[in-house]
Amino acid sequence: MDLELILLTFVAVGFVAQLIDGALGGGFGIISSSVLIATGVPPASASAGIHAVKVVTAPISGLSHALAGNVDWRLFWRLAIPGVIGAIAGAYLVVGLPVEMAKLLIQIYLGGLGLVLLLRRHIHHAHHGEPRIVEPLGLAGGFLDSAGGGGWGPIVTPNLIIQGAWPRKVVGTVNMAEFLVAVASSVTFLMTLGWKSFGTAVLGLLIGAVIASPFGALLTRHLPAAILVRLVGLLLLATSLYGFSRILL
């Protein structure tokens, strides 16, 4: 395939993936890693490249959410610190060990969360509470994100929503915390894999994601909470089903 066509293809993938991620609090890593691996990029290199892109896009998206009033700073620090620890551990794991079984379990888990969000009849968005399970969630989200090439948003966002946190604040805060998680993953991958993990596809993802980063926050701010929750559920089901298809076929 022509080099320019490859670049333009991944610019489009990066734009769509980041738009979904910024608006719904997750999806960039799962969408991008699926495309990269499908084109022959090794899983560890795919995860390394995706997290390098997130180092640039996450602060843009996070700042956009902060300016839109979508970030809970207390929740941010509760997520970010354990998320960094988990990301470092996950990066070391994916470099040294096969993670197919872990990916299968992630798909089952994400699909279950999606069904919970879609099938809950009564979600009282007018009365939001402080989520109790945050630090372990950040640790698990960071670990699985690095090990599986994506999953920080899809794992952390719905869990916080199910615990009663305000959906708009959850999406914005998760996007903001993703920056520190991405930095931790990228530095670890750089130390273990070197610069060889980055290429044309990653450059295309970066360009497309940077263009899309400011728009996700605007969508989050104006989407009604009930619709936002349902869209997160649909995103989880879609990514879960796609992940199953890749594993089984």
H or E segment to which residue 218 belongs: helix 200-222
Q: Cβ–Cβ contacts within 10 Å for residue 121, how many?
A: 4
Encoded tokens for 73: 């700073």
Residue-level pLDDT at 197: 59
Each of the 249 residues of the chain gets a pLDDT tens digit; together they read 566 777 888 888 889 888 887 877 777 877 787 777 767 777 777 788 888 888 888 888 889 899 989 999 999 999 999 999 999 998 888 776 665 666 676 677 777 877 877 876 554 444 567 898 999 999 999 998 887 777 788 889 888 988 888 888 998 999 999 999 999 998 898 888 776 656 677 888 889 988 888 887 777 777 776 777 777 778 778 877 877 777 676
Do 171 and 61 touch, CB atoms closer than 8 A? Answer: no
Give CA–CA dist 174/55, Å, rounded.
Answer: 14
Residue-level pLDDT at 126: 47
Give CA–CA dist 184/84, Å, rounded.
Answer: 6
Residue-level pLDDT at 184: 93
Residue-level pLDDT at 106: 65
Give CA–CA dist 79/181, Å, rounded.
Answer: 9
Burial label for 119, CB within 10 Å (0-12, 13-18, 19+), is exposed
Give CA–CA dist 183/86, Å, rounded.
Answer: 12
Residue-level pLDDT at 226: 73
What single string gives the DSSP state of each residue in 157-204?
HHHHHHTT--HHHHHHHHHHHHHHHHHHHHHHHHHHH-GGG--HHHHH
Q: What does pTM read for this prediction?
A: 0.76
